[in-house]
Amino acid sequence: MTSELFWFEKYRPRSLDEVADLEEVKARLRELVRSGSVPHLLFYGPPGTGKTTVALALARELYGSMWRECALELNASDERGINVIRERVKEFARTAPPGGAPFKLVILDEADNMTGDAQQALRRIMEMYAQNARFVLLANYLSGIIEPIQSRTVMIRFNPLPKDAVVSRLRYIAQCEGLRVTDEALDAIYEFTQGDMRRAISALQIAATISKEVTDEVVARALGMISPRLIRDALREAIYGSFSKTATQLYGFVVDGGIGELELIKQLHREVLKLDVPEYLKPELAFIIAEAHYATLRGARGLVQILGALAKVRRIVTAAQQSKK
């Protein structure tokens, strides 16, 4: 299976201009390119926020059509040992850049998964061959990178992408692929992926294999989750309507629909914080759902924990409404 089969590769931006959002990051990188003094870089932040895309776009910005000859891309989680650093990376970094380029570029994805020995060897190579090569390290967790490397790089944080940027990109892909996507489906994808562009594009691709008309129900079925709209309806029913009806519905989600109880709790947690209740109640409601989550992780029956949490939420919201009267 080639990478072209994956939409997140097929529609990956090829230049900094095409990268969604990240205006501050792009401005800093363009300034470095213009000045000609590109330092070692460390991109860190959650998965799917554009770290690899920006690194490859930077390589194209620096070298144009020769970027493949001047840049080495490795996934450090697969090739994380000291031998890879000493052999492949060192051999690439020690030779002069081709075509009159000022330096080569080494892109190490998931560098926080490298062993401590490999990172120490990388630190020495970064020092020895700084004239020939620049390093761009990509990490999900900054704590996984040793201090000596952090001190030798310019660190740039990548945050989860905002909803507008994700939805805009999904609309563009849907148009290119001839899909009809509802606004509710786009909202559902964002709710499920929380600013992770790669997961969002993959979710759209999976949903498209089910139907060319993508709705929130199609998205939920494709991802093995529940439509946010159904979760909201069940939550309102539990608080303001028939609690027994909600219990039957949640039982159907878990037993008949095969929805994981932990995933159901996570979705309920997001929806509880959106309830139209006084703000001072929301921390207490969030804590109640969190307790149910913790108890389920410890082995308690998830459905019992969910219903107990919703009963507490109903009691608190009802008491708050009665105190207003």
Interval 279-310: pLDDT, tens: 999 999 999 999 999 999 999 999 999 999 99
Indicate if 188 and 106 belong to the same structural domain: no
Residue 77: band (very low, low, confident or very high) from pLDDT cuts 50, 70, 90? low
Query: Residue type for 223, please?
Result: L
Spatial separation of the C-alpha atoms in residues 223 and 207, rounded to whole Å: 8
Range of the domain at 69: 22-157
Spatial separation of the C-alpha atoms in residues 185 and 154, rounded to whole Å: 38
Q: Is residue 141 part of a domain?
A: yes
- Can you give the pTM of this predicted structure? 0.79
- Rounded mean pLDDT, 80-89: 72
Q: Is residue 13 part of a domain?
A: no
pLDDT of res. 113 = 86
Indicate if 64 and 31 belong to the same structural domain: yes
Which domain-ending residue is among 223, 256, 271? 223
Which domain-ending residue is among 223, 246, 272? 223
Indicate if 177 and 92 belong to the same structural domain: no
Residue 140: band (very low, low, confident or very high) from pLDDT cuts 50, 70, 90? very high
Number of domains in the chain: 3
Indicate if 150 and 169 belong to the same structural domain: no
The mean-pLDDT minimum among 21-30, 199-208, 232-241 falls in: 21-30
Residue 2: band (very low, low, confident or very high) from pLDDT cuts 50, 70, 90? very low
Locate all alpha helices (DSSP H) within the chain, ordered by sequence.
7-10, 23-35, 51-63, 67-70, 82-84, 90-94, 116-128, 147-150, 163-177, 183-193, 197-210, 216-223, 228-240, 243-251, 261-272, 282-297, 302-324
DSSP conformational letter for 29:
H
CB count, 10 Å around CB of 17? 10
Question: Phi, psi (5° rounding) for residue 107?
Answer: -110, 115
Which domain-ending residue is among 110, 132, 157? 157
pLDDT of res. 180 = 94
Indicate if 175 and 273 belong to the same structural domain: no
Q: Is residue 279 part of a domain?
A: yes
Burial tier of 83 (Cβ tally within 10 Å: 0-12, 13-18, 19+): exposed
Burial tier of 296 (Cβ tally within 10 Å: 0-12, 13-18, 19+): buried
Q: Is residue 88 part of a domain?
A: yes
Spatial separation of the C-alpha atoms in residues 52 and 71, rounded to whole Å: 13
Q: Is residue 6 part of a domain?
A: no
Q: Is residue 92 part of a domain?
A: yes
- Whole-number percent of the chain with pLDDT over 90: 46
For 81, the 3-state DSSP assignment is coil
